[in-house]
Structure 1
Amino acid sequence: MLILIVVFAALIILILALTFSKSTSKVTSSNTKPVANLGEDELLSCFVSSQSQQTRLGDVSVTWEKKDLGLVYQYSNGAPALAGQASQFTGRAQVFPVAVATGNASLLLRNVRGGDEGEYTCSVSSSAARGSIIIQLRTAAFSAPTFKFSNGTLTGEASRWFPKPSVTWLNQTGDILSANTSFTENSEGIVGVVSVFESAQVSETYSCRIQNSLVLAETETRVTGTDVSASTYFIFSSAAIPVGSNYVNVLISFLSVCYGF
């Protein structure tokens, strides 16, 4: 009877240990809906959470696939395995072996193109975990505006936006200011923005918002004599939001990533 009790207790401990190990290690991502800047590199996040110790390279298998296109990148048995890789990603996609060894299967996608937009699946198999996660990559073009001030006129210019954005100027109290904005479009559909506010005052601070359905660039500008100081941060949507939506609601729905200028 005592032997049965001991065996039964051991089985319970084993079951709990297996359950605990599965629940604490899973495939996840820090951002499942990233917005990539066209022409720049983008890191698609994928990793095994709660992996406490380094795993040998040969024990980790990583596969990235794009819906309706096939293999993006595969890493298996300690080396790339690219037979069958979609030609669109040749020489443009990679994972990092040292990172893979610790459960980080993130994919670097170089020189992002419009055709890269879509649904990706990251699958990881290792001694610590086995699973997959879906990443929805969206593409846009966005750039921080530059400013100049002359004779009461404050001009902001941004060279790369897609889709076409709207522009709003505000004073320190949040009142919308009247400004003239023009757009140019190159052969690739990338939009250039020039916005002119003609009643700017020295020593005043203004906000310039450039926004489309995916990205919002918020710039705080301060006029100091003939110079302008500016600080811009970008906010990326977690879902498509129509241009012109209430800014407070938009802000709640966005994930902020800040850049200092």
Structure 2
Amino acid sequence: MASLGQIIFYILSLVQSLNRLPVANLGKDYMLSCFLPPDSEQSTLQEVSVTWRKESLEGVVYRYEDGAESTSEQDSEYSGRVEIFRDVVPKGNASLLLRKVRRSDAGKYTCSLSHSGGSGKVNIILRTAAFTAPTFTLSNGVLTAEASRWFPRPNVTWLDADDNVLQGSTDLQQSSAGIFRVVSTLQSVNVSDIYTCSIKTELVVSHSDATVTTDSDVTMETYFTFNAASPLIAPYLRIMCVFYVYLL
């Protein structure tokens, strides 16, 4: 027979998240996932309440109880910027939509979900950054990569098809909001060759493979990797999640 401690651990572990160490793009909307897995869902949960909190924040980020949103204790930073999808809450989905992500949104969040059959919670550490896939142009043998939004300050590296580092020239233009626009050029490129432009910060890396098809045309493919290492987990643990963006 399971001990009381084992039963409590099992109940708490039922609440899950698709990504407990996400990186959200500044200025964009982001969904913090929190849910009961399918094998623990009932067709309809009864007496459901959901509370989202953020570490070091006195008020709550969001609260749902008695079938409605409760704003009495909500911190002003999140007023009008967060919501859950009430039609799926009775099925155990308490995911939170955070609108127009700000740098100050970074931190440790706790999603607590309770219903008539039990309760549980999950912690999520949100990091924030700005990142966009670059666009490429080709003129007079010069390949140019431009990316409009990066934060923090990125590093740019050019590679050839054999992963040899090439000598490119990069200009970083910082806006009043601290966001960087990246313009990087590579001289004397050859038709039919493939060049890789890597834009990197401590959280996000974009890898763009640009193929020079003619003297004035280039095709590209970009994917992002996200570093899931966190000071709150073992320092040697590094997980790379991959997100693909195809540009035609």
So what's the TM-score if we normalise by structure 1?
0.84
What's the offset of the Cα at 1:21? 11
Cα distance in structure 2, aligned partners of 1:24 and 1:74: 19
Quick one: structure 1 residues 59 and 260, their matched pair in 2 at CA, closer, same or farther if it must change by over 3 Å?
Answer: farther
Q: 62, 75, 79: which is aligned to 1:90?
A: 79
Tell me what 2:246 maps to.
Answer: 260
* Unpaired stretches in structure 2, ≥5 consecutive residues: none
CA gap of 1:221–1:112, structure 2 versus 1, over 3 A, is same
Match of 2:53 in 1: 65
Tell me, what secondary structure is at the counterpart of 2:36?
strand
What number of residue pairs does the alignment pair up? 239
Distance, in Å, in 2 between the alignment partners of 1:240 and 1:46 is 20
Distance 1:206 1:138, change over 3 A: same
Q: Residue 109 of structure 2 aligns with which residue?
A: 120
Alignment of 1:235-254 (within 5 A): 235-239=225-229, 253-254=239-240
Which is richer in helix? 1
Q: Kindly report structure 1 stretches of 4+ aligned residues shifted beyond 4 Å.
A: 18-25
Counterpart among 210, 225, 233 of residue 223 in structure 2: 233
The Cα of 1:51 is off from its aligned counterpart by: 2.4
CA contact (8 A) 1:214 1:240 kept: no
Tell me, yes or no, if the aligned pair for 2:12 and 2:121 is still in contact at 8 Å.
no
Taking the aligned partners of 1:83 and 1:199, their CA distance within structure 2 comes to 62
> 1:188 is matched with which residue?
177
Shift of residue 23, structure 1, vs aligned partner = 6.0
Q: Corresponding residue for 2:92?
A: 103
How many angstroms apart in 2 are the aligned matches of 1:96 and 1:157?
Answer: 37
TM-score, scaled relative to structure 2: 0.89
C-alpha distance in 2, partners of 1:27/1:156? Answer: 43
RMSD in angstroms over aligned alpha carbons? 2.6
Larger radius of gyration: 1
- Listed as ranges, the gaps of 5+ residues in structure 1 are 1-11, 242-248
Percent of paired sites with the same residue: 45
